[in-house]
Amino acid sequence: MANSVETSSSETNLTVAFIGNPNTGKSTLFNAISGGQARVGNFPGVTVEKKVGKCTFENRSVTLIDLPGTYSLSPRSADEMVSVDVLLGRQSDVATPQAVVCIVDSSNLERNLYLFSQVRDLNLPTVLVLNMWDLAQTRGVEIDPKALQERLGVPVITTSAHRKIGIDEVGKAVVAAIESEVKPPPKLFPAEFYEEIEKLSNWIVERGGEPVHFYLLERMLLDVRGASEESVGKQLTPDLKEYLGEARLRLASSGCRIPAVETKLRYNWIREQLDGVLTRTTSDQTASVSDKLDKILTHRFLGILFFAFLMFLVFQAIYSWSGPFMDMIENFQGFITGLVEGWMQPGMLRSLIVDGAIAGVGSVIIFLPQIIALFAFIAILEDCGYMARAAFLMDKLMTRVGLSGKSFLPLMSSFACAIPGVMATRVIENRRDRMVTMLVAPLMSCSARLPVYLLMIYTFIPASLFFGWLNLQGVVLFAMYSLGAVVAIPIAWILKKTFFKGETPPFVMELPPYKWPSPRIVFDRVYDRAKAFVLRAGSLIFSVTVLVWALSYFPSDHTELFEIETNIESITATSPAIELELETLAERHNQLSGQLIRASYLGQMGQAIEPVVKPLGWDWRIGIGALASFPAREVIIATMGTIFSLGGDVDEENPGLKSALMAAKWPDGSPLITIPVALSIMVFFALCAQCGATLMVIRRETNSWRWPIFTFTYMTILAYVAAFLTYQIGTLLAG
Amino acid sequence: MSTSTCSQVIPLDLLQSSECGRVVEMVASEEWLHRLQELGLREGVTVRMVKTGEPCILAVQGHRFTFRCDPSTMILVEPVPSAA
C-alpha cells in the first residue's frame, strides 16, 4: 500500500492544489493569489474545468491548480474522481501537488471541515485557510486559529479574500507546511476498518494489481458504487466489486455500517476539534438579511412575478442597449468594404474578400454587443445568488413534468449556450432526470439564435409602442425566447412518461446568501464567452461562408459583371446624362448578378430543394441558408450575407444585410420576406437542432449515438411543422 | 438525552415557519442519506424552518437549503424552542 504521494524532485518548482466547498470564496482567493492570470481548460476526457495559475511563494515559482468546488472528496463519478486523481498525482497532465490548500468558510466551520478531514487522509502537506474571516466576525462566530492549529496539526491562517486581507500569509504557510514534517492523519475509524484496508491492499497486490494509495482503498470501502473502484484497472474491477461487498458485510457485523459510519465519525471528530475553539455569540436561529429578501423573492406569487419581470427586463435591455454598438460595427464593416473596393479591381479575389469574408463574418460579428449583454446578465444573476432561488421557484413547475428544480440551472444556462447547459446536467444525480434535461436543453433559445431573431425583428417587425413603453419588437423577441421553453414542457413530459419513466426524485440544493456580484467574475465569464463567439465566427463560420461563396460563384462566367463594375466605378463626374447611364448600368448589374447566382452550383442546389421549403414561405436562398446552418445556426446570417451580396441585392449606399433583405424579391417582383415569412424563419431557428457541437456533447455525455440522433430528428421535425403552421396561419391572418 | 417538555417527534415538513427542530432520525436510501449528511443535515443538528412548502427552505448551521423529500425519505425532528 502506498501511503505517500511521489512528488517531483524539483525543489524550486512547486505545485499547489486549492480545494474547498462551493461558496467559500475559493475562486476569489485563487484569483487574488494568481493575479487573475489563470489558464482555463478542461481535464482530458471529462468536462471538469481545469484552472491553472502561476505565482511565487517565498521566491519559489508555484503552479496553482483550482479544483472544482465540492462538499466531499467521495468520488461517485468520473468527474468527481478528477479532483482525487489530481491530488494523488494520478492525473497525467498536471504535476503532483506538493501541498493542498483547503479553503473553508469561517462562519460555517462545522460543515466545511468535513472536506478538510477527507483531505487530511491524503497525507499531503495541508494548509487550512479560514476564509471570509471578516464575515464570520460580523456573524458572531469566534474562532481561536492558534488553538485550532494546535489541534489539527496543520498551519491554519485567516483570510478575507474579497478584501485582499491575509493573501500573502497563504504562500508563507504553504512553504512552511512543505518544509516541515507532515503529521500522520488522525485515525478516525475503528481498528477493524484499518485491518480491512490492509487486507484489501494485499488482495489487490496478490492479483497483480499496482499498489494503491491508502486514500483510494479507503474510498473503495466507503463509497458503494463509487468511482475509485475503477482505479485498479479493468480486469480486476468485477472481482473487486464482489470482494468489497463481502468486506462491507464483515465491517457491518463488527458494528461499522457503511456508508453511515463515515459521516458519523468525521462529524464527531469535527465536534471534538472545535469544542472550546469555536463559539457563537449570536444564534444562527434568527432570520438573516437573505432570509428577509427571500420572503419576497421566493414567495409563491411575488417571487414568480419578480422572476418573469426580471427575464422580460433582460430581453428589453439586450434589445435597446446594444443598438448604438451595432451601428458602430456596421459602419466599420462598411468602411472596410469601401477600403478593399478602393484598393482592388473588380475580380474573383475581391469578390471573395468582400462578398465572402466581410459580408459573411461581418454580419455575425455585428451581434457581439447583444451576446455580451446576455452573458453579463446571466453571470450577474448567478454570482449574486439569485439563480438558486430561481431553481427553487421552478421546482414546483418542474415537478409537474416529473423533473426537479435541479434541472432548472442547466436549462437556464442553455439560454446562453446549450453546450455548457448539457454539461451542467451533471449536477443532477438522477439519471433519468439528467437524460430528459439534456434532451430538451437544446430547445432553449441559445445566444446563437439571437442574431437570427434580431436580424428578422429589426428588419421586418414594426417598432410600434404599446402603453408608451412596450416595444412590439421586444415583445416578439421575448416570444421567440419563450417558444423553446414552452415547447420543452410537453416534450419533457412525454419523455418522462415513455423512455425515462420514474418517480420524481428528491431535491436538495444550497441557497447561498445574497451578495453583490463580483465585477471580476462577471467580466471573466463574459470575456470567455465573447472570445469563443468571435473565434467561432473567425473559424467555423468563416469556412462555411467561403464554401458557400465558392458554391455560389462557380461555375458561372463573371467577366461581363466585372466589366460593368469597373465601368460604374470609373464614372466620377455627375451630370443628368451620366446619372441615367449609371442607373441602367446598375440595373443591368443587379439583373446579371441574379442570373449568375441562380446558375451557380448553389443556385442549382437551392432550386432543387425549393419545393421542400416553399410551404414555409421561403425561396431557395433562405432554404440554402437554413441548410448551410445545420453545423452552426449563426451561419444563416453569414450565408445570407454572402448570397444576397453576390446576388446583387445589396444596396451600394448601405451594404448591410438588412437593406438587402428588405430589397429581396421573388422572381415575380413581390417582396420575398413578409412578416409571416420572417416569423416562420424565426420559429424554424428557435426549434431546430442546428448545432453540431451540442449534438457532439450529447453524444459524449450519453456515450451513445442514439440520443444525439434522437434529438436531431425530433427537433428538426418539430421546427419544420411549427414553421409551416406559422407561415400558413400568418398568411391567412394577414390576407 | 434531552428531557424537553414537548418531546414529541414529528416529520420535518410539519415544522411551522421559523420553528426549530433537532433531527432525531433519518430514513432514506443509502446514497441519498450520505448526500444529506455530507451537506450537514444529520442526526443531532438543529434545523430551522425558514419557509414551509414543497420544496421548503431550511436553515442548517448557518446555511440555507432548499429541500424536498421523495416518498421513501422521512426525517423526524423533535421541536425545540426557538432562540428568537
What is the pLDDT, as a whole number, of residue A697? Answer: 79
- A289/B contact by beta carbon, under 8 A: no
Tell me, yes or no, whether B5 lies in a domain.
Answer: no
pLDDT in tens, A135-191: 888 877 889 999 999 999 999 999 988 888 888 889 899 998 888 888 888 888 998
What is the mean predicted confidence (pLDDT) over A598-615?
Answer: 86
Contact B61 A139 (CB under 8 A): no
* A725, pLDDT greater than 90: yes
Contact B50 A294 (CB under 8 A): yes
* A254, pLDDT greater than 80: yes
Give Dmax (Cα) for chain A. 107
What is the pLDDT, as a whole number, of residue A199? Answer: 92
What is the pLDDT, as a whole number, of residue A109? Answer: 86
Tell me, yes or no, whether B22 lies in a domain.
Answer: yes
What is the pLDDT, as a whole number, of residue A148? Answer: 92
Task: Please give the Cα distance from A723 to A281 (Å, whole number).
Answer: 63
Q: Can you state the percent helix, strand and coil of chain A, rounding each to 5?
A: 65, 10, 30
Question: A688 and A715 in contact (C-beta within 8 Å)?
Answer: yes
* Residue of A508, A510, A515 to mutate for B, most B C-beta atoms under 10 A: A508
Residue A574 CB partners (closer than 8 Å, separation 6+): none
Q: Return contacts of A138-143, CB within 8 angstroms, 24+ apart.
A: A139/A107, A139/A282, A139/A284, A139/B62, A140/A280, A140/A281, A140/A282, A141/A106, A141/A107, A141/A109, A141/A278, A141/A279, A141/A280, A141/A281, A142/A278, A142/A279, A142/A280, A142/A281, A143/A106, A143/A109, A143/A277, A143/A278
Mean pLDDT of chain A: 82
What is the pLDDT, as a whole number, of residue A442? Answer: 92
Which H or E run contains A80? Answer: helix A78-87
What is the pLDDT, as a whole number, of residue A120? Answer: 92
Confidence of residue A43 (pLDDT cuts 50, 70, 90): low
Residues 203-242 of chain A with CB under 8 A from chain B are 224
Task: Please give the Cα distance from A111 to A270 (Å, whole number).
Answer: 8
* A656, pLDDT greater than 80: no
Rg (CA), chain A: 31
Tell me, yes or no, whether B2 lies in a domain.
Answer: no
Of B48, B67, B71, the CB nearest to A285: B48
What is the mean predicted confidence (pLDDT) over A215-235?
Answer: 83
**C-alpha grid cell for residue A402?**
416529473
* A590, pLDDT greater than 80: no
Hey, which of A315-329, A619-633, A711-725 has the most confident mean pLDDT? A711-725
Question: A404 and B68 in contact (C-beta within 8 Å)?
Answer: yes
Counting residues of chain A whose pLDDT is more than 70, the rounded percentage is 92
pTM of the full predicted structure? 0.67
Question: A428 and A500 in contact (C-beta within 8 Å)?
Answer: no
Task: Collect all residues of chain B within an 8 Å Cβ-Cβ radius of residue A107.
Answer: 62
Domain total in chain B:
1
Q: Which of A223, A213, A221 is nearest to A251 (CA)?
A: A221
* A32, pLDDT greater than 50: yes
Q: Please tell me whether residue A710 adopts helix, strand or coil conformation.
A: helix
Number of separate helices (H) and strands (E) present in chain B: 1, 6
How far from chain centre, in Å, is Cα A410? 9
* A229, pLDDT greater than 50: yes
What is the pLDDT, as a whole number, of residue A48? Answer: 66
Residue A640: Cβ-neighbour burial (10 angstroms; 0-12, 13-18, 19+): buried
* B84, pLDDT greater than 50: no
Question: pLDDT: is A448 or A20 the higher one?
Answer: A20
pLDDT in tens, A677-710: 999 999 999 999 888 878 887 887 787 889 999 9
Amino acid at A148: L
Task: Collect all residues of chain B within an 8 Å Cβ-Cβ radius of residue A300.
Answer: 53
* A118, pLDDT greater than 90: yes
Q: Where are the domains positioned within chain A?
A: 14-179, 191-280, 323-366+520-664
* B26, pLDDT greater than 80: yes
Contact B66 A395 (CB under 8 A): yes
Here the ipTM equals: 0.85
Q: If you measure CA to CA, which chain A residue comes closest to B43?
A: A264
Task: Collect all residues of chain A within an 8 Å Cβ-Cβ radius of residue B42.
Answer: 263-264, 267
Which H or E run contains A528? Answer: helix A519-536
* Residue of B66, B67, B82 to mutate for A, most A C-beta atoms under 10 A: B66
pLDDT in tens, A520-565: 888 887 888 788 778 877 777 778 778 877 887 777 777 777 777 7
Question: A584 and A605 in contact (C-beta within 8 Å)?
Answer: no
Task: Please give the Cα distance from A479 to A683 (Å, whole number).
Answer: 10
What is the pLDDT, as a whole number, of residue A99? Answer: 93
pLDDT in tens, A439-475: 999 999 887 888 888 888 888 888 777 776 777 888 8
What is the pLDDT, as a whole number, of residue B2? Answer: 42
| Cα-based torsion angle of the residue sequence A151, A155, A160, A166 in order, rounded to the nearest 10 degrees | 140
Question: A240 and A221 in contact (C-beta within 8 Å)?
Answer: no
The CATH number given to whatever domain includes residue B40 is 2.30.30.90
Residue A222: Cβ-neighbour burial (10 angstroms; 0-12, 13-18, 19+): buried
Q: What are the distances in angstroms from CA A366 to CA A253, A352, A456, A662, B29? A: 69, 20, 14, 18, 53
- Quickly count: other Cβ atoms within 10 Å of residue A134's Cβ: 17
**Domain enclosing residue B74, as ranges:** 10-80
In CATH, the number for domain A14-179 is 3.40.50.300
